[in-house]
Structure 1
């Protein structure tokens, strides 16, 4: 039984793709129980060449090529070829816990048939220092619907934090938006809205590697602005999807997710020190779709506090202006 199809979108990953693949194939899992689908998205380095070479050495590795479709397009192509019961998405610059992968595939995953199975992950810096990716507490080993979970807390839009049942993905025609950033947020949100069964396992499986010096974190103004536009496009699409929902319980869960996506944009506007006119433009867009000021919701005190502190554009611009000062900066670190 082919249990897992691991889909890896690859773009200019020649310096770390081998580490990623080795973390998977070094496990003691039988080759016939999983497959790796690597999709090169028109890399300009030697990524495709390396993958094709490794394809001849790794029986379970299948390499494909797409022409500049972005990670979403690469993942869509990978899903077209996937044959496993579950689909797992891995980023080429990250890696997995080899021992946990062996444990999951050898002993656990055959016992599950939920639509979505979540697990634990850590954030790792260049020096190998590990820390939690988030402070969310997961409801381990408890089955619930995706809507029930979304009404408890917003699911993080991290594809590599979940296994997605392939039958469930096909049944609900789940696809990624192509050529935009943050398509993972859209995919995860829609998946949780329609998932009838979700569970989380207390298994540390994934290492998210963060490099503040990476090229993606040093892009110019045009690149930064595009990511904000893409984020707003995802939020707008989810708002339209929200209007189509007939189930109020699912809708209230999606409302929570959308609200926190708006919060993440506001935080980035301040952290990235975007210029005043761009900030006002983004806030004006959210005002038009009734998401700014942040809607009054009874989530928790942190949401209410953030809502008050960012209630007007003038307040947000004030935080941006004084975020580098010693006293305000320390406060802003906890808020933004």
Structure 2
């Protein structure tokens, strides 16, 4: 088995058919791929849709489990995966035409521990455009280059990008997950894991082709900006990243992560004061924002940081 594609499924009946149609369209089963649909205790018709697709295609298998969240579902898929490589697809997203064949051909040609490709964001299918790119235009990345690409923030809304901690625009050698799993119960779990997988990889290659379409879903868990937990989880994950890179003297990526940590820390502070919820972790990031040396921020964030440090009463008054 060459490739295991893991798709966590939870109450996505509205989008799941489109996702699986894009994945399986024009693919002729050659026995080298398995698609693992991890039904994470769905309460809508997602389970029935999974069953219909598994009956339609022998390489699609359904794993059922009690609801445990995205990380838990991904881990369940990893535990069952039989492929030499693992890819993740979110169940409300879409992949490019011929996705499976392209991945297999690239893996055969490049033989990398991590294969990294471009993506495009969209709000609905009407936003999708045909984007031409050269499959053969690939580049091996140094560890520093990969880390900096991961920590970049050029996540274009309706254009092409390849930056980010995301799990879904990469294919991984299964051996990288030998002692790594996604943290159960945390949002932005990709941020907690991707850098650790990159650190373990011996060869990382980037392909300049759009192979993944990420749906801008305002109702998704991570897009609920009002939840204090989202900000806290992101800040905690970025803080772990920052310490990791600081201890290993990865200076370039350290500054990129530090910038993200400042920005997300400020967002977290706004949410903390706005919701007035008890959160013992806040003191941790407050200390960082007050005492850590300055970083390259744009004018807006420089002003907010100054107000936070010098005029806390005003910061609380204008909470967003």
TM-score over 0.5 (shorter chain): yes
Q: CA–CA distance in 2 between the matches of 1:217 and 1:239? A: 21
- Structure 1 spans left out of the alignment, 5+ residues: 132-139, 324-336
Distance 1:154 1:295, change over 3 A: farther
Partner of 2:286, secondary structure, is: helix
Which residue matches 2:260?
260
Q: Does 1:123 align with 2:121?
A: yes
Q: Taking structure 2 as the reference length, what is the TM-score of the superposition?
A: 0.78
Q: CA–CA distance in 2 between the matches of 1:102 and 1:316? A: 58
Partner of 2:212, secondary structure, is: strand
Which residue matches 2:134?
none
Aligned partner of 1:226 among 221, 229, 239 = 229
Q: Cα RMSD over matched residues?
A: 3.4
Which residue matches 2:212?
206
Which residue matches 1:190?
196
Which residue matches 2:52?
53
Distance 1:29 1:111, change over 3 A: farther
Distance 1:32 1:152, change over 3 A: closer
**Equivalent residue runs for 1:139-288 within 5 Å:** 141-151=138-148, 154=151, 156-170=164-178, 173-212=179-218, 214=219, 216=221, 224-238=227-241, 241=244, 245=247, 247-249=248-250, 253-254=253-254, 256-257=256-257, 259-267=259-267, 275=274, 284-288=283-287
Distance 1:215 1:97, change over 3 A: closer
**Equivalent residue runs for 1:275-314 within 5 Å:** 275=274, 284-288=283-287, 290-292=288-290, 295-297=293-295, 303=297, 305=299, 308-312=302-306, 313=308, 314=311
User: Of Structure 1 and Structure 2, which has the larger fraction of its residues in helix?
Assistant: 1
Q: Structure 1, residues 14-35: CA drift from partner, whole Å, max 9, x if none? A: 1211111111111335441211
Which residue matches 1:16?
15
Partner of 2:151, secondary structure, is: coil
Partner of 2:90, secondary structure, is: coil
Distance 1:240 1:152, change over 3 A: closer
Distance 1:99 1:18, change over 3 A: same
Distance 1:127 1:62, change over 3 A: closer
Distance 1:42 1:280, change over 3 A: closer
Give the count of matched residue pairs.
299
Aligned partner of 2:109 among 91, 108, 111 = 111
Instruction: Quote the offset at 1:69 in angstroms.
Output: 1.5
Instruction: Quote the offset at 1:195 in angstroms.
Output: 2.6
- Structure 2 spans left out of the alignment, 5+ residues: 130-136, 153-163
Q: Does 1:65 align with 2:64?
A: yes
Q: Taking structure 1 as the reference length, what is the TM-score of the superposition?
A: 0.75
Which residue matches 2:155?
none
Instruction: Quote the offset at 1:239 in angstroms.
Output: 5.3
